[in-house]
Amino acid sequence: MRTGKEDNITEILKLIAPGTPIRNGLENILRARTGGLLLITDNNEVLKEVVDGGFTINEDYSSSKLYELAKMDGAIILSGDFKKILYANAQLIPSYDISTSETGTRHRTAERTAKQTGELVISISQRRNIITIFKGNDRYVLEDTDAVLSKANQAIQTLEKYKKVFDSKLNILNEYEFNDIVTLQNVIEAIQRAEMVMRIVDEIQRQIYELGDDGRLVKMQLEELIGGMDKEETLIIKDYMAKGKKSPEKIMKKLEELDYEELNKTSVIAKILGYENFDNYDEVGVYTKGYRILSKVPRMPSNIVENLVDSFKSFQHILAADIKSLDDVDGIGEVRARTIKQSLKRMQEQFLFDNLI
């Protein structure tokens, strides 16, 4: 799975997922309907800046202690690793000049404190019975586990449909690469579909973090569906990015930053890959370097793939090369040369068969 999409909230969801000691404490407060306000920090300057009064606790954390202390009106201060309860019944006094969109006093204080300090603040509403987390300018409402699980299962079903479309685009690309008839349109469509799939994956991954122990089955389904698909997308980009574009990772980053409307524009993807604007991308022939197909050959280290591409410059030249020419490449040897020839032949037959079904 790619990790570049993770943000502050995603990291926090991992820390307070169901099954963790802190989540057990939060759930106890929620069920008791006492409400609560928690500031999580190790920064003494933050304590001096926004915390007033309260009782010094300095005790090891437990969910039962948190529940009991939440019966008091003030805020509870926890250490950054959630292992210590530092203060209880404290008053948080952030600047009133900081804007807030919240309505309840507890939530308004939480949002202002998070914005002012950049620290994690958790507000548990007594009346609405919800848990809201604030971190800097980010805000996230924790949903009921059953609701999150239902959304995750719906997202898995959507992912299956999008993955089938991507697989069909990939099957076409596989066959066309062997027959040397790939167009820029084929490449762009494969990248667009891959990116759409990975965006659904990012959404499900966040839901898995939020589900914690309850998300094991969803995680297994996701891993079975996706495998190494993010690597597949990277290798497509590496095969077809224009000369002078040295980093597939930077191109991936640019694709991740596109909104949905931009992602669907062929010209936008072409520009990111380093191509000029064309009237009809389906008439623009492009040539794979061979990284993706060669990575499917058994026991082929990435450095050997690099040596092959550097030596032959294109996949068609590798495909046409005899055993001796392959053997001459650094790190290949006759045995591996024969394996490459046999594997490529089998793949070509299989890809042709896949598109006939």
Residue 13 inside a domain? The answer is: yes
Residue with the bigger pLDDT between 7 and 104: it is 104
Q: CA 248, CA 237: separation in Å to the nearest integer?
A: 6
Residue 36 inside a domain? The answer is: yes
pLDDT digits (tens, 9 = 90+) for 31-67: 888 899 999 999 999 999 999 999 999 999 999 999 9
The confidence band for 356, taking pLDDT boundaries of 50, 70 and 90, is low
- Burial of residue 353, with CB atoms counted within 10 A of its CB: 0-12 exposed, 13-18 middle, 19 or more buried: exposed
Q: CA 114, CA 109: separation in Å to the nearest integer?
A: 9
pLDDT digits (tens, 9 = 90+) for 10-22: 889 999 998 899 9
CA angle 222, 226, 227 (to 5 degrees): 110
Q: How many domains does the chain have?
A: 2
Q: Which residues, 6 or more positions from 332, have their beta carbon under 8 angstroms from its beta carbon?
A: 304, 307, 308, 326, 340
Residue 121 inside a domain? The answer is: yes
Residue with the bigger pLDDT between 302 and 351: it is 302
- Give pLDDT, residue 263: 96
pLDDT digits (tens, 9 = 90+) for 223-275: 999 988 889 999 999 999 998 877 899 999 999 999 999 999 999 999 999 99
Residue 17 inside a domain? The answer is: yes
Cross-strand pairs, 131: 124, 142
Please give the single-letter amino acid code of residue 146.
D
Structural domain boundaries enclosing 321: 289-357
Query: In CATH, what number is assigned to the domain containing residue 348?
Result: 1.10.150.20
Q: Which of 110, 142, 174 is the last residue of a domain?
A: 142
Cα-Cα end-to-end distance for the chain: 30
Residue 22 inside a domain? The answer is: yes
Torsion of CA 245, 249, 252, 256, to 10 degrees: -130
* The total number of residues written for the chain in this structure: 357
Check if the beta carbon of residue 249 is closer than 8 Å to that of residue 237. Answer: no
pTM here is 0.81
- Give pLDDT, residue 4: 42
pLDDT digits (tens, 9 = 90+) for 117-156: 999 999 998 777 789 999 999 999 998 888 999 999 999 9
The confidence band for 353, taking pLDDT boundaries of 50, 70 and 90, is confident
Within a 10 A sphere around the Cβ of 117, how many other Cβ atoms? 22
Question: Comparing 190-199, 229-238, 346-355, which segment has the lowest mean pLDDT?
Answer: 346-355
Residue 156 inside a domain? The answer is: no
Residue 342 inside a domain? The answer is: yes
pLDDT at 8 over 90: no
Q: CA 323, CA 340: separation in Å to the nearest integer?
A: 9
Q: CA 183, CA 177: separation in Å to the nearest integer?
A: 10
Residue 48 inside a domain? The answer is: yes
Helices (H), the chain: 8-15, 21-32, 44-50, 63-69, 105-117, 145-179, 184-211, 216-226, 229-240, 248-257, 260-263, 266-273, 291-294, 302-312, 315-320, 323-327, 333-356
Q: CA 34, CA 10: separation in Å to the nearest integer?
A: 27
- The continuous run of DSSP H or E covering 85 comes out as strand 84-92
Q: Which of 112, 142, 172 is the last residue of a domain?
A: 142
Query: In CATH, what number is assigned to the domain containing residue 89?
Result: 3.40.1700.10
Q: Which of 93, 116, 142 is the last residue of a domain?
A: 142
User: Chain-wide mean pLDDT for the chain?
Assistant: 92
